[in-house]
Structures are given as C-alpha cells and as structure tokens.
Amino acid sequence: MFNKILIANRGEIACRIIQTAHRMGIRCVAVYSEADANARHVAMADEAFYIGPAPSSESYLRADKIIEIAKESGAQAIHPGYGFLSENTDFAEACEANGIVFIGPPSSAIAAMGSKSAAKAIMEDAGVPLVPGYHGRDQSPDLLRAEAEKCGFPLLLKAVAGGGGKGMRVVENMAEFDDALAAAQREAKNAFGNPDMLIERYLTQPRHVEIQVFCDQSGNGIYLAERDCSVQRRHQKVLEEAPAPGLSEDTRKAMGEAAVRAAQAINYVGAGTVEFLYDVDGSFFFMEMNTRLQVEHPVTEMVTGQDLVEWQLKVAWGEPLPLTQDQVKTRGHAIEARIYAEDPDQDFLPATGTLRYLSTPDESAHVRVDTGVTEGDEISIHYDPMIAKLIVWDDTREQAVNRMVQALEHYRIAGLKTNIRFLHAAVDAQPFREAELTTNFIASHHNLLFPKSRLDLDKALVLAAGFILEQRKSAEPVTADPWSPFGRKNSWRMNSEYAQPLTLQVGDGQHELKILERDDRYQVFVGGSVYHLNAKLNDDYLQAVINGHRLSVHGNLHNEELVLFYEGDTFKCTVYRETYGFEEMASEGSLAAPMNGSVVAIQAKVGDTVTAGQTLVIMEAMKMEHAIKAPADGVVSEIFYAEGDQVAEGAELIAIDTGEAE
C-alpha cells in the first residue's frame, strides 16, 4: 500500500480523504492557497505546502506546482477529490508521466465521457438504455428536423459539449423547432465553442437516480447500490439519499448492471457514477457518467458499510475490489443534506463571512458530519460555499427523515446566512416525507419551503431578553469577597427591583421591553402583555419557562447581535444600547460597566470611605464619558480595573462594602 499520498484539494473532501488515509497508516501531504493557511485540511495533514494566491486558477488548479510538490515530498499518488483537477485529462496524464499514481480512472476514460454524443454512442453499443432521440454527427437542419419528427414532442435540445444542465432547450412542437434550434446552437457556440446538438424525448417528471460503480485494474466491476439526487436547485444537488425510494429490486439490478456495462465499456478503474433519468413508469435512461468520487458518496457508505476512499486507495494500489457483487449488501436508509453559506430569501445568493458561532450535532452511528471548517473560519468568495454535509442513517426512510430533522436542529451557525432552515423545511415537508421526489420538487413546493417562523414574536423577544440579561450576569466577575452584596449575583440590585428598559431591533421594527428582575426570575413587559420568565443560561443554552411553557433555545450574543436557535429556525435581533442605559443604571447605583468601553479615571482607592452618589469611576464608551457612582455609603473593598483598561459591558468595576451582611 502507498505510504504517502498528496491530496490536491481543500475543504471537506480533503479532510475526508486524510481521515481514511490516516486510518490506513498512510501519510498525507496537503496543499493550500493563501486563503487556507489555517484551514482544517492543512491542520489534519502530516505536512502541507503553500501553492499560491486564493483564486483556484492560481492555486488548486496549478497542476504543474502540485506535481512538483508530490515529487519533492515523496508522495506516491495524488488524490484529486472532486472538482478542481479531478476530471482533467491533462492532469491525469501528467501524473502518469511523472511516475505518480492518479487516484482515479485512466485519462482515456475521463475523455470518453467528455462529449455527450460520443458518450451516448458508447453507451448504445454497451446496451445501456438511452432516451429515444438523435445523437449523430450530421447536424444539417433538414436531418435534425426529420429526427425531431421521429422523436416526437415535447423534445429537448441538448448541447453535445454541454453538461450540468447548460445549453438545454425544451421544444413543444414542430412550429417552434427552427427558432429553438437556431437559438440553442448560438448559445452552445458561445458557451462551449461547439454548436452541435442532440435531440431527446423530453421527460417531464423525471427523477435523478445514479449508480455508484467501482472497477479494479483487472477489469472487474461492481455496483454499490444507487442514490436518489432528485431534489436539486438549478442543477445543484440539495438532498441525496440511498436507496432510491420505490425502486423495485428488478429495476435496481437492471440499472446497476447497465451502469457496470457503461463503466466497463470505457475500461474504467476506480470510483465512478453513472447518472440515469428515472421515469414514473420505472424506465430509466443513461444521462451522464461522472469519473470521480462524488460529493454525495457518504450515503452509499452509510447503507453499504463500506469506506469508498479506502476502496479507491486499494484499487489505485492494484488490489482487487474488496467485495464481489454478491457480497454487497445494503442496510437501512441514509440521507445527506448539503449545508451552504447562502441566503434562501435572496434567491440563494451565496453568502460570505466568518463562522462566528458553530455548533454541530453529536456524531454517532446515526449522524455523520463531513466538513472542512471550524468555528472562526471564513467562508470566502474564492471557493464553493458548502459548509458541510450532514448525513444521517436509520433502519427506515421515515426514521432517517426524523433523524435529519433533529440533526438540522442541532446544527447552529451564526455569523453568516445558511440554508439550514430551508433544508429543515424541505426534509420536514409532507411531499418529501412521502418521497414525492422529482427534479421539480423545490420549484413546485416553494410555499412549504419558506415557512412562517416557528416562534411567535413575543415569545422570541422574551427569550432574547432572558438570554441577554442572563449572559450579562454571567459576564460579571466574581468579587474577591464572596459575601459582598456587589458580587456576581448582583444581590444588591436584586433587592431593589427596578424596571429595566431593553429595546430590541428585529428587521426594521423596534420593540421596547421593560423588565423587572429578581434573581433568575423576570417579568417582561412587551406591548400590552406581561410574561413571567424563568431563565437559566448555561454557556450557550438557555432553559426558560414563559408563563408556564417550558422551552429551551441555544443562542449566540456577539457585540449587539443576538441569534437564537429554535427547532431549526433562527431568530435574530440587535440590542439597542442607548436605551438601557447608563442613566437609569447609574442612578440606581450599579457598579457594572454600562457598555463596552474603557476606564478613563478611577477616583477612589481601596479602603476609601465613600458616600452614596459619589463618582467612583469614569468610563468612556461610544465616544461619551459616563460616571459610575456609589450606590450606597460604604468602604471600597476592591477595584477590578486600572485606568486605560478595556472593560466588557456588564463587568463589575469596583466593590463596596456597605456593612450590610446578607
């Protein structure tokens, strides 16, 4: 077996490959761009080499540099992951020319699938079912028109050089054909430099079902079940699962065997995927073949119990396939959801930013998280905005769906927009639960996928208030004197109940709250209502009882921004500083910093006798000076900060012994 490999990729797939290689005792060399110096894949690898600036074209696509580094570091093989150089025939050839094993198929197999019409011709010869239509070289308009008549309507014009849904056009009848053809040819010429078209009967309600195939270097090939990837958005997969719901054993076997024939027809080696369009009547047709390990491979791993990266390494080393076709068994059901940094409310615009707060579900036999990022990492414009793949497994599809709903509720991110809530709604939607899977799923269930908030606004505001107040309390330092009335419990304040105003901004609206506080019990006045709140904050976890309704949320309060996480939904609000302020708190005699700021002057020493109302500390915050005054007569027992120190909002600045023991 190899003792050292190079991973020519980044993100979750680089981490995924390193994990298996390490388990097999193989050393890993990573490469990284300027943006990825502190990335997880770099930290996980045994060594890592810088390859260039952030743009892929100057880093992860630099075949020449990567091969140099492989040679220099003594890596015997290169795993390309997916994307980047994974389906680049020149790179596969360059590896070979430099005596490095390319962990993937021969370049000839990659090339064979590059043209749609050539691929269809190969598949036809191999007896793989094709959508009825025309994929010949002759592109004369008269012939294409005749082929269109033969095919029938609606039909689909596809660019021979296209892929991933680019350059397709539906034609409803012969009257539309000439114009549609001319337009499609123009588009294809512009996009791919090749105007050639193929014609297919258009399937209106297809599903995307793909077969995982594996071949060794001796020409043996098997299939490892199928995946249903029908839930897509603009040809981007969103949810994937294995097995495909409702597929008969006969169809599964026929599709699997067709896929193996497809792979063997191009002398395939390693992991590949043959994609089929699956029609409502159970018929299926070759769509394309992907000559790499795919993003969604984990669902196959979960149902087969196999590690496909381990298989890739074994096959690349020259070993036979680990299992025969008869030994491949599937168990239960797996679903994968792709978590993206994007804003579903803005037509899924990719989002960038820092993962300020990141909390993932516990991993187990039922839940798997494949990710390349950790809290504090940045999602930049340079690469794919996928944050993670969340994969669940259970005995039945129904249970797996429930697992996914729960796992998404435990996936919490603050700092940037994500599609978590959208995924939660999609998986929880009745049509998904009923496995009504077609490629139109998202478009036809838009209303279900953008649901109303799960929390009513008043309750959300009350929880927000509880979180903010509890976090402020816990932020205050413990005073040296555990009996001090100005200690962390704020017992002094507790003894003189006072209504604290708190203004929360939600979207464009401002909500003014008044809060009465007594220990961990609060009365929160919102609009015309009063809510009795019990709140206990443990780190990021708030357990609350609101008017007898016990509920809990997680949250993250950063500067003025609070994000609460509740049942897969988030509630965001901003704290308005001006209003709770200093004025009221100071007049009440709080010794806590009213806001983040710096200590300008300390006007007392330890041991000084002070009188109520005397100024003890002057703070500057938000470009204004604030006096912190003694709440009562007493003796200064401790001063926690020095002039010039930065202090956090809520921090106790000074302790006074008032002689009133509790």
Task: List the one residue from 47, 68, 176, 288 that touches ligand MV4 (CB under 6 A).
Answer: 288
With CB under 6 A as the contact rule, which of the stretches 51-59, 60-68, 194-202, 464-472 interacts with ligand MV4?
Answer: 194-202
Cβ proximity to ligand MV4: between 227 and 397 the closer is 227
Q: How many residues bind ligand MV4 (CB under 6 A)?
A: 15
Cβ proximity to ligand MV4: between 208 and 297 the closer is 208
Q: Per-residue string for binding with ligand MV4, 118-147, x by CB under 6 A?
A: -------------x----------------
Task: List the one residue from 11, 104, 206, 477 that touches ligand MV4 (CB under 6 A).
Answer: 206
According to the binding rule CB under 6 A, does residue 439 interact with ligand MV4? yes
With CB under 6 A as the contact rule, which of the stretches 195-203, 370-378, 531-539, 608-616 interacts with ligand MV4?
Answer: 195-203
Helix, coil or strand: residue 290? strand
Q: Per-residue string for binding with ligand MV4, 487-526, x by CB under 6 A?
A: ----------------------------------------
d(CA 232, CA 302): 21
Cβ proximity to ligand MV4: between 202 and 641 the closer is 202
- 220-239 binders of ligand MV4 (CB under 6 A): 232, 235
Whole-Å CA distances, 300 to 79, 193, 512:
20, 37, 52
Cβ proximity to ligand MV4: between 131 and 595 the closer is 131
Hey, CA dihedral for 356, 552, 491, 585, is it positive or negative?
A: positive
According to the binding rule CB under 6 A, does residue 388 interact with ligand MV4? no
Cβ proximity to ligand MV4: between 445 and 459 the closer is 445
With CB under 6 A as the contact rule, which of the stretches 37-45, 202-210, 552-560, 584-592 interacts with ligand MV4?
Answer: 202-210
Cβ proximity to ligand MV4: between 203 and 215 the closer is 203
> Is the separation of the CB atoms in 6 and 65 below 8 Å?
no
- All residues at 6 or more sequence positions from 336 whose CB lies less than 8 Å from its CB, including other chains: 239, 240, 241, 296, 298, 299, 389, 390, 391
User: In whole angstroms, how close is the CB of 339 to ligand MV4 at the nearest point?
Assistant: 20
Helical spans, DSSP H, in 282-396: 297-304, 308-317
> Is the separation of the CB atoms in 260 and 321 below 8 Å?
no
Q: Per-residue string for binding with ligand MV4, 264-283, x by CB under 6 A?
A: -------------x------
User: In whole angstroms, how close is the CB of 138 to ligand MV4 at the nearest point?
Assistant: 20
Task: List the one residue from 180, 203, 215, 564 that touches ligand MV4 (CB under 6 A).
Answer: 203
d(CA 409, CA 282): 35
According to the binding rule CB under 6 A, does residue 71 interact with ligand MV4? no
- Helix axis angle, 174-192 relative to 141-151, nearest 10°? 120
With CB under 6 A as the contact rule, which of the stretches 95-103, 174-182, 200-208, 466-474 interacts with ligand MV4?
Answer: 200-208
Query: Residue 662 has which token pair?
Result: 């509790």
Cβ proximity to ligand MV4: between 222 and 238 the closer is 238
With CB under 6 A as the contact rule, which of the stretches 70-78, 199-207, 243-251, 371-379 interacts with ligand MV4?
Answer: 199-207
Task: List the one residue from 28, 30, 287, 335 that touches ligand MV4 (CB under 6 A).
Answer: 287
CA atoms within 13 A on the CB side of 174: 11
Hey, CA dihedral for 524, 529, 533, 538, is it positive or negative?
A: negative
DSSP secondary structure letter of residue 452: P
Which residue type does 257 have? E
User: In whole angstroms, how close is the CB of 284 to ligand MV4 at the nearest point?
Assistant: 12
User: In whole angstroms, how close is the CB of 177 to ligand MV4 at the nearest point?
Assistant: 16
Active site includes 472? no
d(CA 419, CA 180): 35
∠ at Cα 532 (587, 472), nearest 5°? 45
Which residue type does 601 have? A
With CB under 6 A as the contact rule, which of the stretches 201-209, 317-325, 425-433, 521-529 interacts with ligand MV4?
Answer: 201-209
DSSP secondary structure letter of residue 40: H
Q: How far, rounded to the nearest angstrom, does the alpha carbon of residue 585 sit from its chain's CA centroid?
A: 42
User: In whole angstroms, how close is the CB of 147 to ligand MV4 at the nearest point?
Assistant: 14
Considering the candidates 40, 227, 292, 412, report the single residue annotated as catalytic: 292
Task: List the one residue from 84, 91, 102, 202 that touches ligand MV4 (CB under 6 A).
Answer: 202
- 349-368 binders of ligand MV4 (CB under 6 A): none
* Nearest CA-CA partner of 532 in 465, 474, 472, 581: 465
Helix, coil or strand: residue 548? coil
Task: List the one residue from 75, 78, 156, 160 that touches ligand MV4 (CB under 6 A).
Answer: 156
According to the binding rule CB under 6 A, does residue 338 interact with ligand MV4? no
Cβ proximity to ligand MV4: between 277 and 526 the closer is 277
Whole-Å CA distances, 127 to 110, 120, 377:
20, 10, 49
Cβ proximity to ligand MV4: between 78 and 203 the closer is 203
- 390-429 binders of ligand MV4 (CB under 6 A): none
User: In whole angstroms, how close is the CB of 110 to ligand MV4 at the nearest point?
Assistant: 17
Three-state SS string across 365-402, please?
Answer: CCEEEEECCCCCCEECCCCCCEEEEEEEEECCHHHHHH
User: In whole angstroms, how close is the CB of 292 to ligand MV4 at the nearest point?
Assistant: 15
> Is the separation of the CB atoms in 4 and 78 below 8 Å?
no
According to the binding rule CB under 6 A, does residue 634 interact with ligand MV4? no
Q: How far, rounded to the nearest angstrom, does the alpha carbon of residue 286 sit from its chain's CA centroid?
A: 30
Whole-Å CA distances, 98 to 38, 63, 70, 109, 266:
30, 12, 10, 19, 24
Task: List the one residue from 165, 282, 305, 376 that touches ligand MV4 (CB under 6 A).
Answer: 165
According to the binding rule CB under 6 A, does residue 208 interact with ligand MV4? yes
Buried b / exposed e along 596-609 (16+ C-beta atoms within 10 A) = bbebeebebeeeee
Where does this chain bind ligand MV4 (CB under 6 A)?
131, 156, 165, 200-203, 206, 208, 232, 235, 277, 287-288, 439
Catalytic residues: 292
